[in-house]
Structure 1
Amino acid sequence: MHLLSRRRLLGGAGVTAAALGLHAAGFSSGRAWANPRFDGDPFRLGVASGDPAADGFVLWTRLAPDPLALDGLGGMPAESAQVEWQVAHDESFGRVAAQGAARAVPELAHSVHVEVAGLSPGRDYFYRFRTTGSEAVISPVGRARTAPARRGRSGEVSFAFASCQCWYEGFYTAYRHMAGEDLDFVVHLGDYLYEYGVGATAGVRGMRLDASFQHETYTLTDYRNRHALTRLDADLQAAHQAFCWILTWDDHEVENNWAADVAQLDSDGFPDSDPAAFRQRKAAAFQAYYEHLPLRLPQRPSGSSVRMYRRLPFGNVLDLHVLDSRSYRDDQVCGDGTKPGCDAERSDPARSVLGAEQERWLLDGTARSAARWNVLANQTLIAQVDQDPDPDVLSSGLDMWDGYTTARDRLLRGLYDSGANNPVVLTGDIHRSVVADLKLDFDDPASPVVATEFAGTSISSGQDGAATDQVGRNWLAAGVNPHLKWHNAQRGYTRVTADDRRLRADYRVLPYVTRPGAPVSTAASFVVENDRPGAQPA
């Protein structure tokens, strides 16, 4: 294995303030591991980058030579370890742009988050990590692209978005195809992890795992090992190595359909219906989420509190508004699920999906944005969807924005009244692809279209899909949901390109995920023209 000399690794370019001791602050961790020696490759969970800015990004890795160790520590001792990092203009690291060292501490499962700044906008960089000591090991090489500068001539921004990657229900072949695309970044809309037990044979993966993987996740050790199991997938690692990722969570990173401090009431016997107990569970889930993903310091949790919503600019082309629709929402009405009725409860003006502070932040930010496109990274479907083909019955999904109709009205009215530039919503959660016009009044055909919603399917959740299914037929039945433009129930991801004139969404789908090696194709493409809300077939 090619190893860099310590002099070469640490010489040259300086270290930004954000990169120095990012995890050392607040962690004593006792003594450092003087001469690390690993029983296996410490970089088995790969490398990643995230949250690109015009001058940098965050780099991630976790030292874990035994990623599924039953104590959740990844085969590492209770000592901190020094990890050196390097960013270069070229893949052979002949032209180093930035480098330094970070401390991997046991309190954060020996994860490393380095915030690199001082780079040039709109260009590719390569990065890697290196352990110290006489038996130093170099990580795989990752590639990351900085965001374009806000000023200057606008170009094209290209990205993919994905969600819902239940590990035991399907292979991550979609990520292998995604890694081969030419993208600026990837947006993950949630359900990176599933809290359920993986089953006796790990579902379609055909593996036998320790009994600790057979029950729902509750403790920090549970969540750490479930994340590690997910991150061992080679296709997922390839997509992380290829692009910066921008992530937010939905429900399964903690528990199905959680809402603020309210747990799902039908959990399997764990006393998390008590808000204090559920906050402990959230704290464990949030910490493990941070430990395994390329998130910046503001997204590091403090117990069960963390601010995940944030805004990332990409030149003059788009502002990406990343939402958290779980941490501040009111509990689902009428016992959750999909059902008719509950009109008074659903329309209660006191109810919210985003919470008052995040809602103001979003509407103020979209109103002030000078970018051509305001793109919302959202979790659950905003569009009204009557899920019963009987025209006399309105059946609503109460975990979606249909369960919070006044909150939806406030959002769409706020975007419309402020004249926000070209709002486009990216949505995950539903394991199917949907294109929808978002209208001020979904029941009035003449009502203005405010925005376009592109809902993307799952990577693997739900196992093999189909181009159409009964749910899709119900949703697209004549006269039931006229604002829905298209539906598909296959697995995959969505590729988006945007410039001054238009935004285009290509739905990339796979015929199967229950076995590896599926090809990818484009099921449909839609465009939104500048200043013309609503999607049209490309």
Structure 2
Amino acid sequence: MAQRRERPMLDRRTFLQLSGVSSAAVALGISAPEAFADERTPVPEGAFGLGVASGEPGPRSVVLWTRLAPEPLAPDGHGGMPRRPVPVQWEMSTDESFRRVVRRGTAVASPELSHAVHPQVDGLQPGREYFYRFKAGRETSPVGRTKTLPARGELASSFSFATASCQAWYHGHFSAYRHMAAEELDAVFFVGDYIYEYGITSANLWRAGASVTPEHAVDIETLEQFRLRYSLFKSDPHLQAAHALAPWVVTWDDHEVQNNYGADGSRYGVSPEHFVHLRAVGYRAFYENLPLSLSTMPDGPDTALYRRFDVGSLARFNILDTRQYRDAPPADAGDQYDEQRTILGHEQEQWLYDGMIGSPATWNVLVNGVTVSAITEDRTDQWDGYPAARQRLIGAMQQTGNPVVLTGDIHRHVAAELKADFADPSSETVGVELICTSIASDGDGAPTDGYTPDWIQHPYVKLYDGRRGYVHCRMTPDELTSEFKIVSWIRADADAPLETVARFVTPAGSPGLEKQG
């Protein structure tokens, strides 16, 4: 029987320490009265050193983000900002020169939230392109582009997006983002491992020309260390350009806290009492550094990250959290196949199935951290470790239209067909899984490697490639086109050209992967 892990009890003092932020700081970081605006407030030069971003798009709203950090790599994790609140003005326009500003406002960047702001802009037009920027003191940010979703119920003619994951900055240059930033995209879906918690040393610093100070050489344990690690990764100009291109919708996997963790369980011997604190500061830094809405603000070690986005009636995107609620690793085969075992937690499972079954959308998408397809039984960190939960998911897929799973984690491109019974490859194909490789994790990679046989032994796996890149998708009412993009090297520099290693079409109403070319 799968063992349910009980949450360590927290007293009020410990809870407040884990939360570490006042409700006023959170509220003002989203919207502040006009009286807070003051262009004379001194702000260090280069305050927008981490760029800008947008996310959480809706038909009439979007969340904007920036974090003031004139010295992003300051060792204390505060980005070179003075320990006082700073008013930040933002404005949104329908043109890049800001002659037609349609919304503007003020948010307060507070030291409690590492001088990050998350203003939510409402009252926008559906399916519309907008441009935005921030001002603080005499400093003006780069311009970002964003886009709202189509109106509810509207059958949009197309929706283009990219998926990305696993960006170990120290393993190579973010060449893939350089190319992604030149795409025409409506959104980017990031499926996990935005940072890595490992210490960066001469043994793993493969990015040519890069160096780090001793503060980066330790495994992350504190909020300040998490903030510094985000600053390091976000200092990359190609990542900043990709954020400024389109709204991002993000979920996490494990390295935003610790490798292969699950719920309150550490694989490295950290006690549950201490691991709750690690999870709390990891989740806090995740919120601070990404364009997330108030609904995802951590409450100590808990965050309501799973959520849903409807692209009119064309597509429904279900954003999943496969870390926070999962059962512990199986003790044995009997435990692994326990019918009650869950990777999502039963509440999230029910939420997902309620949104899938009877969904009015043409395409029903799961944005998910780890591989769903059956590969090998010893991959228990993936859905292979939760076969009963996977079978429940497949059952729900059979009751919805055109299911698609977007995944990352494994640092390889994989395209697979999801089977009604993975033990019988001739069984019904119920959907497709598109797994994007890493942006940088594991260095250059190669088309094949030591793991290739595990994957291609299955006839439902239609592509395996171990190089770096991303997946570009275009949905229409008639079909989904998925293009697996790669760069051949990342360690030496960011100059590698972009190639499309495979292109698939999935017709609406006929799940499967039809390879093109």
Both structures adopt the same fold (TM-score exceeding 0.5):
yes
Q: Which residue of 1 aligns with 2:423?
A: 443
Q: Is 1:314 matched with 2:304?
A: no
SS at match of 1:22: helix
SS at match of 1:204: coil
Q: Is 1:513 matched with 2:515?
A: no
Q: Is 1:137 matched with 2:119?
A: no
Superposed, 1:85-484 pairs within 5 Å as 85-132=90-137, 136-200=138-202, 202-265=205-268, 273-334=270-331, 342-386=332-376, 395-416=377-398, 419-476=399-456, 480-484=457-461
| 2-structure distance, mates of 1:113, 1:68 | 21
| 2-structure distance, mates of 1:461, 1:21 | 33
| 2-structure distance, mates of 1:343, 1:173 | 42
Q: Is 1:40 matched with 2:45?
A: yes
Q: Which amino acid aligns with 2:53?
A: A
RMSD: 1.9
- Report how far residue 152 of structure 1 moved: 3.6
Superposed CA deviations along residues 449-502 of structure 1, whole A, max 9, x for unmatched, are: 2211111100110101112223213421xxx31221121111100000001111
Q: Is contact 1:198–1:214 with CA below 8 Å preserved after alignment?
A: yes
Q: Is contact 1:436–1:484 with CA below 8 Å preserved after alignment?
A: yes
SS at match of 1:52: coil
Q: Is contact 2:30–2:107 with CA below 8 Å preserved after alignment?
A: no
In structure 2, relative to structure 1, the CA distance for the partners of 1:314 and 1:384 (3 Å cut) is same
SS at match of 2:139: coil
- Report how far residue 153 of structure 1 moved: 4.2
- Report how far residue 24 of structure 1 moved: 5.4
Q: Is contact 2:94–2:100 with CA below 8 Å preserved after alignment?
A: yes
- Report how far residue 60 of structure 1 moved: 0.2
**Any gaps of 5 or more consecutive residues in structure 2?**
1-24
**How many aligned positions are there?**
487
- Report how far residue 274 of structure 1 moved: 1.4
Superposed CA deviations along residues 6-64 of structure 1, whole A, max 9, x for unmatched, are: xxxxxxxxxxxxxx98335999xxx9999433443000000000011111210000011
| 2-structure distance, mates of 1:463, 1:351 | 35
Q: How much identity, in percent, do the aligned residues show?
A: 43
| 2-structure distance, mates of 1:484, 1:320 | 23
Q: Which residue of 2 aligns with 1:269?
A: none
Q: Is 1:486 matched with 2:489?
A: no
| 2-structure distance, mates of 1:348, 1:420 | 26
Superposed CA deviations along residues 244-293 of structure 1, whole A, max 9, x for unmatched, are: 10000000000000100001125xxxxxx211210101111111111111
| 2-structure distance, mates of 1:280, 1:517 | 40
| 1-structure distance, mates of 2:210, 2:51 | 21
Q: Is contact 2:415–2:433 with CA below 8 Å preserved after alignment?
A: yes
Q: Which amino acid aligns with 2:232?
A: L
- Report how far residue 199 of structure 1 moved: 1.1
Superposed CA deviations along residues 68-101 of structure 1, whole A, max 9, x for unmatched, are: 2222111112211100000000000000110011
Q: Is contact 2:72–2:232 with CA below 8 Å preserved after alignment?
A: yes
- Pick the aligned partner of 1:61 from 59, 62, 66: 66
Q: TM-score, normalised by structure 2?
A: 0.91
| 2-structure distance, mates of 1:402, 1:147 | 34
Q: Is contact 2:29–2:116 with CA below 8 Å preserved after alignment?
A: no
Q: Which amino acid aligns with 1:378?
A: N
- Report how far residue 120 of structure 1 moved: 0.7
In structure 2, relative to structure 1, the CA distance for the partners of 1:97 and 1:280 (3 Å cut) is same
Q: Which amino acid aligns with 1:307?
A: A
SS at match of 1:368: coil
In structure 2, relative to structure 1, the CA distance for the partners of 1:301 and 1:95 (3 Å cut) is same
| 2-structure distance, mates of 1:25, 1:195 | 28
- Report how far residue 505 of structure 1 moved: 0.5
SS at match of 2:96: coil
Q: Which residue of 2 aligns with 1:15?
A: none
Q: Is contact 1:200–1:209 with CA below 8 Å preserved after alignment?
A: no
Q: RCO (CA 8 Å, sep 6+): is it higher in 1 or 2?
A: 2
| 1-structure distance, mates of 2:93, 2:180 | 23
- Report how far residue 164 of structure 1 moved: 0.3
- Report how far residue 345 of structure 1 moved: 2.2
Q: Is contact 1:21–1:102 with CA below 8 Å preserved after alignment?
A: no
Q: TM-score, normalised by structure 1?
A: 0.87
Q: Is 1:49 matched with 2:29?
A: no
Q: Which amino acid aligns with 2:267?
A: Q
Q: Is contact 2:155–2:477 with CA below 8 Å preserved after alignment?
A: no
Q: Which amino acid aligns with 1:163?
A: S
SS at match of 2:192: coil
Question: Which range moves more in the overlay, 527-536 or 217-226?
Answer: 527-536
Q: Which residue of 1 aligns with 2:10?
A: none
Question: Which range moves more in the overlay, 347-356 or 252-261?
Answer: 347-356
Q: Is contact 1:32–1:79 with CA below 8 Å preserved after alignment?
A: no
SS at match of 2:140: coil
Q: Which runs of 4+ in 1 moved over 6 A?
A: 31-34
Q: Is contact 1:45–1:62 with CA below 8 Å preserved after alignment?
A: yes
Superposed CA deviations along residues 152-189 of structure 1, whole A, max 9, x for unmatched, are: 44310000001000010011010010010011000000
Q: Which amino acid aligns with 2:405?
A: V
| 1-structure distance, mates of 2:428, 2:419 | 6
